[in-house]
Structure 1
Amino acid sequence: MRKSIATVSVSGTLAEKLEAIAAAGFDGVEIFENDLLASPLSPEEVRARAADLGLGIDLYQPFRDFEAVDAGTLAGNLRRAEHKFRVMERLGAGLLLVCSNVSPSAIGDDELAAGQLRLLAERAAEHGVRIAYEALAWGRHVNEYLHAWRVVRMADHPNLGVCLDSFHILSRGSDPIGIEAIPGEKIFFLQLADAPLLAMDVLQWSRHYRCFPGQGNFDLTGLVSSALRAGYAGPLSLEVFNDVFRQASVERTALDGMRSLIALEQGLHGEGPPAVPTGFAFAELSGTGEVGGLLGALGFARTGTHPTKPVELWAQGGARLLLNATGADPALLAIGLDGPDPAGAAKRAESLLSPVLPRERAPEDARLEAVAAPDGTEIFFCDDAWLADFTPAAPAPGPITGIDHVALTQPWHHFDEAALFYRSVLGLRPQESLEVPDPYGLLRSRAMSTGDGSVRMVLNLAQVGAADIPWQHVALACDDVLAVARRLRREHPGLLLPIPANYYDDLEARHDVDPALRELGVLYDRDERGGEFLHLYTVTVGRVFFEIVQRTGGYGGYGAVNAPIRLAVQHAAHR
């Protein structure tokens, strides 16, 4: 399908927006009026620039507070409209978005609104322009899409149709199935935006928290499917008001918008990931000295060295970690994911604008393909062939059974992009977004996982000003975290993060727990079904620390209730 985006969805000048939108592969744009008014380019120059870039101008918007007004106001509104039509002729734009009236003086009379919209459509037809009428979720009298359709039907003019906006429909909880009652030829335009579920004024929600499809909680696949069944044949167009997008790189944002539409279109056709990952093959970290010492203390053994690269394999149970000597400070560089079809996973990533990274390899090296996540972490698609690059050796015996999850701190302007990447490219399911108190601000966190929990990722966004540290950590699963803690306290007493006694005073008031937790520095959480989570943290080396976790009773969370304690202790140690 044709793909379009509103210029308000990205940052920059109008000229910069058009260039980035074209480079991302869009077919057309919605010109937001403020972008044109602030541009030194004339409408003719904008038209020519768009044409040179291969972009059609699909819509000009918005035209506000037109219908259901008294005669004096109507005369002024028609004068405004005539000016807009002349501008649109110069732009080469044939469709004008008219929003439902939000003015307190608007009159609640559908016949009056329909008559005035018919008059507007007649004037528009003289300029070769059509009118797409949209019900704003906060419209004074018309705030439901089916109400807007009733008014359009009453007006009965070929140049008047409806614009359907997913945010205005879904934010009000309206059922999109009603779209199928609208003739497809009367659906003039379809605007798409996702959003997180927030309990707030709908106008503020709309103006600041929209996001691209797949980054929020709305069922856009269902809505678009209803529009297609109704016979809609126009573009899928993104209209997103988002404070972060307005400040982020225009090129990255435009590319992310295109990725969201490609993923949405694949979902419409029933195309999901060829095979979701089945587990962690490895996590790769930079640094060998400090990190190697930490792994040795945790019971890992160095089981192999790569023949052509400065990379060591450390293993215990089913957990495999690679240490890369090329990095300076310890940091998480890459994640390897097991799956039945690595080539298919790489191909899907490329279809979603995440190209396979160029890599140097010797002829005898295993062929591993990787893509870059938004924060730069490399994601490898693996089968067992990569293990042949290392001298075969048995992993160390011990209580650690594998990698439970990996947590990555995202740059502030990449958080939503990362959520879309892991959802669309890897097929991970997003969980509820949380905000965790930090001594210097807030930590926003969102977990994503496969349906069976074999791969779990946690995306964190630290909003803590000057104290913001991009920590990353690897959580290792074990069967007996208390035994691990006892050994570490005995053999490596400075290795574990010290937990304040006040935490255990409160914990023991809330739960009947083993007193050994206090002695050993183990944290605890319990879910509503009785599942339990025991975990401990190591000290941080560079940007990296390790978490040892034990899940029982089907516990599926990450101990978020304990995150403020961990953050406070880490900040104190860092300062």
Structure 2
Amino acid sequence: MHTSIATVCLSGSLEEKMEAAAEAGFAGVEIFEPDLVASELTPEEVRARAERLGLALDLYQPFRDFEGVSEELLEDNLRRAEARFRIMARLGIGTVLVCSNVSTATEDSDEVSAAQLRRLGELASAHGVRVAFEALAWGRFVDDYRRAWRIVELADHPAVGTCLDSFHILSRGHDPAGIEDIPAEKIFFVQLADAPALSLDVLSWSRHHRLFPGEGDFDLVTFLGHVVRSGYAGPISLEVFNDIFRQTASGATAAQAHRTLVALADRTAREQAGAEALPTVPAAGHPVGVDFVEVRAENTTDVEEVLDQLGLSFRGQHRSKPVRLWSAGGARIILNEQHARGERPHVAGMGLLYPDVDAAEARVSTLGVPRVTRRIQAGEHRLPAFVSPQGVELFLAAGESDATGRPGWIDEFEHGVPQDEGAEAGEAGVYAVDHLNLMSPWETYDETVHFCTGVLGLQKGTSTEVASLHGLVRSRVLRTPDGAVRVPLNVLPAAGDQHTEHVALACDDVLAVARRAQRRGMRPLPVPRNYYDDLEARFGLTDTFLRSLRAHQVMYDRDADGEFLHFYTRRVGGVFFELVQRLGDYDGYGAADAPIRLAAQARLDAEPSQLSGSARPPRRRGRSVPRQLPEW
């Protein structure tokens, strides 16, 4: 597969965009005309630079408002086109993208448009150029790829073909199955873009909200399957207009783009009949459990106190590093004080269990995810480690379907409670990590969603919004089908400066955990009495049960499948813990309780004495991510 990317997708100068595309692994680029006009490089210099970088110059675009016009305007359009063809000859580009007319068309006639495209084809062929006619979703008369193909067919010129753009087709709800009816030799170019499902005019949607494959809601797997079955074998290119991508580092964006395109090809080859020729990457399936969660800080003493109150046991100090392990059953929390000067407690890493860790490592590595190194000594376990787009480090470990199995790396921790004691559950029934609630900077949110789905093998849930005192918090759950791994991913509102994440621990009896924790001195997150009055009205709970919930600050939710009880600890620096108990087949997260939790935390924020840990956590912004793992 010849991979390509339009320079409009990336930030920076034309030279920087080309270098970023080559470094990311693209085989070619589309030259967006405004990028060339703004460049100090001559067309000959652009061509020479592309050759040095090993990049093909696949397409020159866009040429606008050509067809369906008066004869007088047609002559001017042909003059404009010839000037572009001369520039393309200097660049060495053989295909030009011609968009359907948006503003100057006056003739709503396929025959007129075809005749005018035929004249353009004659002029183009004299310059060794092909014309790829594309139906814009907001074209004045031509806004459907099937009509664009009819016009190309009527034009009946070897230099005139069509360009297929997934955004223009899928945003209008057109059926892409008709792609297979177009002769492969008449499909001159294919462009891909994803997008979120929005109720928005298509022009604004297109110019500001396109995404790379897998980051939005379009069915690009089916779309690409139709393209491959048509027999098309030319470039598969990304054309993504997005305000964020034009503001972030071109190298990171190009790497993200290439990763999504390769992952799309892999998925299409595996799921679409007739698409087996597309390249694949190693398959790893989805993770089968959470191995551990790492919390890092200059001083983790306050976190240890909370873990002890919740019923986890100290399992030992690492034999060679300032790292300690606390656990209960399959819930393992690693506290790391190495390379953390000035940092308050925060979620820094997560271990995921895979049935075939070698395959998982090969997949993540092949998809170009940045690898981070970890210095280990003789006899210590090697855990492949990568860094996610939003900065949390991912460790890959071997595991069976039973996530509570005892990993070998535990032997590196010494002088704690013997590992076989309390192995099944904590003193109050804590037995696993239920979910890990992470935050993402807004500019890497969609990339992180794709990373979790396209790279790690999680499934993408629907996007929701939760009200906080500082605005709406956007949230989406990424998980395995069986719920063994759950990662709710959130974007804090711009006005909120608290960067906090939390670890949810599953237990058999949340009220027992709460009672025990309070006897050991824990002050849970305070819940207002109004909340419990509302519970009584909503669910008709008994007075005895309500009093027990209120006495221990435990929250409650219920749906048709079961019940959910949970409570929160207060924040320790940039992290807090949630204890959850699922009854029946309840599969949610108590979403209705989230605004109550956020409001309670905001009230505590006004009382500095309530917050432990004065140092700030590292704020993840843009694409600045750590490349060196803590040495544990």
TM-score for both structures, normalised by structure 1: 0.96
Matching residue of 1:453: 483
Report the residue type matching 2:295 in the other structure.
L
Report the residue type matching 2:284 in the other structure.
P
Q: Residue by residue, what CA displacement relative to the aligned partner does 1:196-230 show, whole Å, maximum 9, x if unpaired? A: 11122121111111111111111111111111111
Matching residue of 1:569: 600
1:481 is aligned, of 507, 510, 513, to: 510
CA contact (8 A) 2:310 2:516 kept: no
Q: Which moved more, 1:106-115 or 1:552-561?
A: 552-561
Runs of 4+ with >4 A deviation: none
Q: Residue by residue, what CA displacement relative to the aligned partner does 1:377-432 show, whole Å, maximum 9, x if unpaired? A: 21111132222323442244322120011111112221112112111221001111
Distance 2:579 2:561 in 1: 20
Q: Residue by residue, what CA displacement relative to the aligned partner does 1:302-359 show, whole Å, maximum 9, x if unpaired? A: 0122212222111113211111122342111211111211121111110010243221
Matching residue of 2:265: 265
Matching residue of 2:493: 463
Does 1:276 pair with 2:299?
Answer: no
Residue 485 of structure 1 aligns to a residue whose secondary structure is helix
Q: Residue by residue, what CA displacement relative to the aligned partner does 1:72-114 show, whole Å, maximum 9, x if unpaired? A: 2212211221121112112211111111112274321111111
Matching residue of 1:232: 232
Does 1:506 pair with 2:534?
Answer: yes
Q: Which moved more, 1:100-109 or 1:298-307?
A: 100-109
Report the residue type matching 2:579 in the other structure.
I
Matching residue of 1:415: 445
Distance 1:82 1:444 in 2: 49
Cα drift, residue 490 of structure 1:
4.4
Does 1:385 pair with 2:415?
Answer: no
Report the residue type matching 2:588 in the other structure.
G
Distance 1:64 1:523 in 2: 59
Distance 2:537 2:141 in 1: 53
Matching residue of 2:20: 20
Distance 1:147 1:553 in 2: 53
Residue 215 of structure 2 aligns to a residue whose secondary structure is coil
Does 1:442 pair with 2:483?
Answer: no
1:108 to 1:531, Cα distance in 2 relative to 1, 3 A: farther
Matching residue of 2:304: 292
CA contact (8 A) 1:273 1:425 kept: no
Q: Which moved more, 1:194-203 or 1:380-389?
A: 380-389
Distance 1:438 1:83 in 2: 56
Distance 1:507 1:29 in 2: 58
Residue 459 of structure 1 aligns to a residue whose secondary structure is strand
1:373 is aligned, of 372, 388, 391, to: 388
Matching residue of 1:324: 336
Q: Which moved more, 1:103-112 or 1:371-380?
A: 103-112
Residue 59 of structure 1 aligns to a residue whose secondary structure is strand
1:381 to 1:117, Cα distance in 2 relative to 1, 3 A: same
Distance 1:344 1:80 in 2: 53
Does 1:125 pair with 2:145?
Answer: no
Residue 206 of structure 1 aligns to a residue whose secondary structure is helix
Report the residue type matching 1:244 in the other structure.
I
CA contact (8 A) 1:273 1:426 kept: no
Does 1:521 pair with 2:553?
Answer: yes
Matching residue of 2:137: 137
CA contact (8 A) 2:65 2:101 kept: yes
Residue 433 of structure 2 aligns to a residue whose secondary structure is strand
CA contact (8 A) 1:134 1:165 kept: yes
Q: Which moved more, 1:410-419 or 1:446-455?
A: 410-419
Q: Residue by residue, what CA displacement relative to the aligned partner does 1:459-513 show, whole Å, maximum 9, x if unpaired? A: 2121323x3222111111122222323333444352x111223333334333323
Matching residue of 2:203: 203
Cα drift, residue 285 of structure 1:
0.9
Report the residue type matching 2:552 in the other structure.
L
Matches within 5 A, 1:334-349: 334-349=349-364
Q: Residue by residue, what CA displacement relative to the aligned partner does 1:491-548 show, whole Å, maximum 9, x if unpaired? A: 4352x11122333333433332342333432223334x34332222111111101111
Does 1:305 pair with 2:337?
Answer: no
Report the residue type matching 1:526 in the other structure.
R
Cα drift, residue 34 of structure 1:
1.4
Stretches of structure 2 that go unaligned for 5 or more consecutive residues are: 271-279, 399-406, 607-632
Matching residue of 2:181: 181
Stretches of structure 1 that go unaligned for 5 or more consecutive residues are: none
How many aligned positions are there? 572
CA contact (8 A) 2:309 2:522 kept: no
Distance 2:190 2:38 in 1: 26
Matching residue of 1:559: 590
Residue 365 of structure 2 aligns to a residue whose secondary structure is helix
CA contact (8 A) 2:65 2:105 kept: no
Distance 2:466 2:84 in 1: 47
Distance 1:568 1:117 in 2: 62
CA contact (8 A) 2:462 2:476 kept: yes
Matching residue of 2:454: 424
CA contact (8 A) 1:317 1:397 kept: no
Report the residue type matching 1:573 in the other structure.
L
Matching residue of 2:566: 535
Residue 447 of structure 1 aligns to a residue whose secondary structure is strand
Matching residue of 1:64: 64
Residue 443 of structure 2 aligns to a residue whose secondary structure is coil
Report the residue type matching 1:508 in the other structure.
E
RMSD: 1.7
Residue 128 of structure 2 aligns to a residue whose secondary structure is coil
Cα drift, residue 36 of structure 1:
1.4
Distance 1:491 1:357 in 2: 39
Distance 2:103 2:371 in 1: 52
Report the residue type matching 1:499 in the other structure.
V
Matching residue of 1:364: 379
Using CA pairs under 8 Å that are at least 6 residues apart, name the structure with larger relative contact order, 1 or 2: 2
CA contact (8 A) 2:306 2:522 kept: no
